[in-house]
A and B are shown apart, each in its own frame.
Chain A
Amino acid sequence: MSLLASSLGKKYVMALSGLVLSIFVLGHMVGNLQVFGDPYLINAYGYKLQHLPYGLLWVVRLFLLACVVAHIWAAITLKIQNKKARPQDYEAKATVQASLASRTMIMSGLIILAFLIFHLLHYTVRAVPGHQYNHAIIANDGTEYPAEVPLVLHGKTKVDAYGDPLIVHNVHDMMIAGFSYPLISLFYIIGVYLLCMHLSHGVSSMFQSLGLRNEKWRYRLDKIAMVYGWVTFLGYASIPLGIWFGIVNASV
């Protein structure tokens, strides 16, 4: 494919995979903010995602993984080319207008990757030692919550087609237990901060890379990207902070 070999082709890969991932970031945030509501909300949401028909969960997961791989492949290939294009740097270095976010994309990106791997091991695979959350959910202070709970809304237990109570994974309490560790919460907040800084440059850049931008929209898109970055940061950071300040409490 000559398109993928070209510099612009790789930028399109960057932009399109970035578009998918940044929409996921917003959707994931909205989904997780349900932790502030009745425990039923996020537990039912988790149950629905886990039981999507036609194996859609894995379709979406593999699609997102493909986007992550494509995004990183394009980023690293482009970065190597960029380094080669200036074998000798200036003695006097100056930056006229490039933002900090734009100059640290590869660094923020790689730290986000490390964060992403931990995050998946922590809450999806549940394989971080001491954070398995499969049989029981144990918080920082030793409190133990059941890993699976019946789904209860307004005091009424939901039942399945056979009339048996619907047993779901206790997502709500798992989040509370997970964020009861200050170091984990701190790592999480730093991770989402870098992610949102990455987005503040990336979201406007993807329109530029695809050529969907003109004089009128140039400043608007820069503003939209900045707002996107801050909204997602505040949204995500509010979860560990809400748990830390006791706004969100365990259900069981």
Chain B
Amino acid sequence: MKLTLRIWRQDGQNGSGRLVDYKMDDVSPDSSFLEMLDLLNEDLIESGDEPIAFDHDCREGICGMCSLTINGIPHGPERMTTACQLHMRHFSDGETITVEPWRAKPFPVLQDLVVDRSPMDAIQQAGGFISVRTGSAPDGNAIPISKEIADYAMDAAACIGCGACVAACKNASAMLFTAAKSSQLNSLPQGKAEKDRRVLSMVASMDEAGFGNCTNYGECQAVCPKGISLDFIAQMNREYAVASVKQIFGRA
């Protein structure tokens, strides 16, 4: 396949960035998007240029490191697929593909396509945990949890924290991420004890980082590689309202 890649190049956090065009003549349709970028980087290194910096780790779609906005869509055009699992056969020969980093104020660009996603860690640290020891693996069955609840919590737990929801949202809102992380624990008996505190702290951390607000576009859900649904945002909205009222009466 022949491709023209328009890739965001930026030297360091304070450098000014721009889109640079690269031509590739012989891309295998069976290569993944990241493998294609690897090949481009090899060419760049050979010709003495600086390779393109991009985040990646497992390349199995489970680590949440890859973070490419491909033609304006985080993780590219395939539904429920991370950029590392996206294959070049989904593009057409001769196509021009624009690759940009996640765009959000809390995610400053560090280099080229690499952004700093630590505000999401801060949200997780604000309440995405259970304070007491709840037992080791074999104790898991000591607390009976219905299949529905277990599945529901698992659907939330599927979030890999890649930040595509923030990148896709026209308001750069982190509601889907925060909702998935809080709902996962708030739905399980082990997490219920800290339910109110958790949702209040996580939302406060989210607001503090400067993410935008949810206006129910649904773009986050559409690009989420793990299919996290807007229903978790509804749950978080509900739990936050209840927790806020309890807080007013000193009961949260």
Interface residues of A (CB under 8 A from B): 2-3, 6-12, 78, 81-82, 84-98, 102-103, 105, 201, 204-205, 207-215, 218
Contact = CB atoms under 8 A, between A and B. Distances in A.
Contacts of B247: 2
Nearest to B207: A7
Interface in B96-110: 98, 100, 103-106
A103 B211 contact: no
Contacts of A212: 234, 238
Interface of B: 6, 8, 19, 69, 71-73, 98, 100, 103-106, 168, 170-173, 203-204, 206-207, 210-219, 221-223, 229-231, 233-241, 244, 247-248
Contacts of B213: 7, 10-11, 78, 81-82
B237 A11 contact: yes
A205 B238 contact: no
Given A90-B100, A92-B71, A212-B234, A82 B212 contact: yes
A218 to B, nearest CB: 7
A96 B219 contact: yes
Contact of A85 (B8, B71, B105, B230): B105
B105 to A, nearest CB: 5
A215 B237 contact: no
A87 B222 CA distance: 23
Nearest to A96: B222
A211 B204 contact: no
Contacts of A102: 215-218
Contact of B100 (A92, A201, A218): A92
A96 B172 contact: no
Given A8-B203, A8-B240, A91-B98, 9 more contacts: A6-B240, A7-B207, A10-B213, A84-B105, A86-B103, A209-B216, A211-B237, A213-B231, A213-B234
